[in-house]
Amino acid sequence: MLTIYLNPNSKKPMYVQIYEYIKNEIKRGNLKADDKLPSARKLAANLDISRITVDAAYSQLVSEGYVLSYPKRGYFVAEIDKLLNMAPIAHPPIMMEEIGEKPDYKYDFTPVGHELDNFPANIWRRLSREILSYDEGLIFKDSDPKGSYKLRRELVRYLRESRGILTDEDHIILGAGSQYLMMLLFKIINKPLRVAMENPAYIPAYKTLKTINIEVVPTNVDGNGINVEELFDSDVSIAYVTPSHQFPTGSIMPVANRAKLLNWANYQPGRYIIEDDYDSEFRYKGRPIPSLLSMDKSSRVIYMGTFSKVISSAIRMSYMVLPDELMNKYTESFSNIGSTVSKLDMAIMTEFMSGGYLERHINRIRNKYNLRHNRMISELKKLGDKVVIKGSNAGSSLLLEWRGEMSEEELVKAAGEAGVKMYPLSSYLIGSYLIMYPTFVMGFSSLNEEAICEAVSILGEKWR
């Protein structure tokens, strides 16, 4: 039984005291994932208070994602990794179709979708109204070229708590999208470069580098992320990586390989690592692996992040953490360029973060994605021994390897004709890469559990 000391003289309602006690015990690790909480009836009797009070506290914990409620079983502590999984990394949709009329799909396994159903839109609108009411001249004021100082200050806290990154406001630059920041970064570096990029790759980043005439060297990934030995054998100066959940294979770079990658960057002067901390907020087993930047002692890592995945891709707001050398170059040559991010959006996001709304929103999404992740795996396993699942337990997608007789083209066509959109791993290749069996990137962020069951059932029927 929980030992909760309630203060009847406190200004906080009793249900808030119960809620805060349990939440803090979860965050401290004293209450662990899957621990069962006492029933509302038993806790109310033990504390000699109304059950309605306990129900209100439990309801708040469930709504914020700290606790899961199961009918006829009770309340259980959710897997939240001590709130370390908070830094959302997102990207705009990959354009898999040619320009022109696109077929209509009932089910879409896009790996870059968004969970918007539970976004607290009312809170976002309220914050917008409040900001405009007390600061009517906001949109006419000049902003810092790096972006709002207050928002950058919130990001300092956010990155420290979520990814173990120790930085300050002066090392962060906000920009309207990751592509803009990538182009700005290479303007700052301002010298001919060859950049290693993971193969298979995140295609929009690849296209951005090609657009600004950067020579890209495809570097294969395996179950441990980018092949560091290939980096040592090449003459590249920069490595672009997604170590927390490699896109699109889903591999997670273990700490030993991260250390090797940092050693590669330190081996010669002028080398850098661009860390796109993709999907780091969604990890379903174990604690999150530290970010590369949190391990970097030699200022070799450039950290890229964005709010698009958990807020909306319509809000073009990304950020970049630069090491000293590059930040000095930015200050010397580019600090006269105005911020490209909406001042109103930055003000709303500042309040959204400082009020704890972002943290609670991410907790809800993480728990929802965890349920969808588990449902996707359980449904795919029903298809039998022709299915091999890879890249699970993190992120918002996984890999499905099909070991049947149909070809990749036949599988895509059969699924498409039945209204299911598939994303072959081969469409993410930027160099030679051995794919022994037809393999698909299966995103679950845009499909609820019922839709996942229906779509996988269709695949089972059409792929026999």
Q: What are the pLDDT digits (tens) for 397-428?
A: 899 999 988 999 999 999 999 999 999 999 99
Domain positions in the chain are 14-78, 107-118+359-462, 121-358
The amino acid that residue 237 corresponds to is S
Confidence of residue 379 (pLDDT cuts 50, 70, 90): very high
Determine the pLDDT at residue 402.
93
DSSP secondary structure, 349-402, as one string: HHHHHHTTHHHHHHHHHHHHHHHHHHHHHHHHHTT-TTEEEES-SBSSEEEEEE
| Report field, pTM of the whole predicted structure over 0.85 | no
Helix (H) or strand (E) holding 20: helix 14-28
Q: Yes or no: is domain 107-118+359-462 CATH 3.50.50.60? A: no
- Mean pLDDT for all residues in the chain: 85
Confidence of residue 87 (pLDDT cuts 50, 70, 90): very low
Query: Could you tell me which residue, 456 or 255, shows the higher pLDDT?
Result: 456
Determine the pLDDT at residue 313.
65
Determine the pLDDT at residue 136.
60
pLDDT above 90 as % of the chain: 43
Q: How far apart are CA 124 and CA 128, in angstroms?
A: 6
Helices assigned H by DSSP within 190-323? 203-211, 228-233, 255-267, 292-295
Determine the pLDDT at residue 98.
39
Q: What are the pLDDT digits (tens) for 49-81?
A: 888 888 888 877 875 677 888 877 899 988 764
Q: Yes or no: is domain 14-78 CATH 2.60.40.10? A: no
Q: How far apart are CA 338 and CA 245, in angstroms?
A: 33
Neighbour count for residue 28 (Cβ, 10 Å)? 9
pLDDT at 188 over 80: yes
Q: How far apart are CA 172 and CA 147, in angstroms?
A: 9
* CB-CB contact of 444 with 396 (8 Å): yes
The pLDDT of 188-209, averaged and rounded, is 90
Residue 128: strand, helix, or coil? helix
Confidence of residue 314 (pLDDT cuts 50, 70, 90): low
Domain 121-358 in this protein, CATH class: alpha beta
The pLDDT of 434-444, averaged and rounded, is 91
- Give the CB-side neighbour count of residue 305, counting CA atoms within 13 A: 28
Confidence of residue 90 (pLDDT cuts 50, 70, 90): very low
Query: Is the omega angle on the peptide bond into residue 13 within 30 degrees of 0, that is, cis?
Result: no
Neighbour count for residue 163 (Cβ, 10 Å)? 24
Query: Could you tell me which residue, 372 or 71, shows the higher pLDDT?
Result: 372
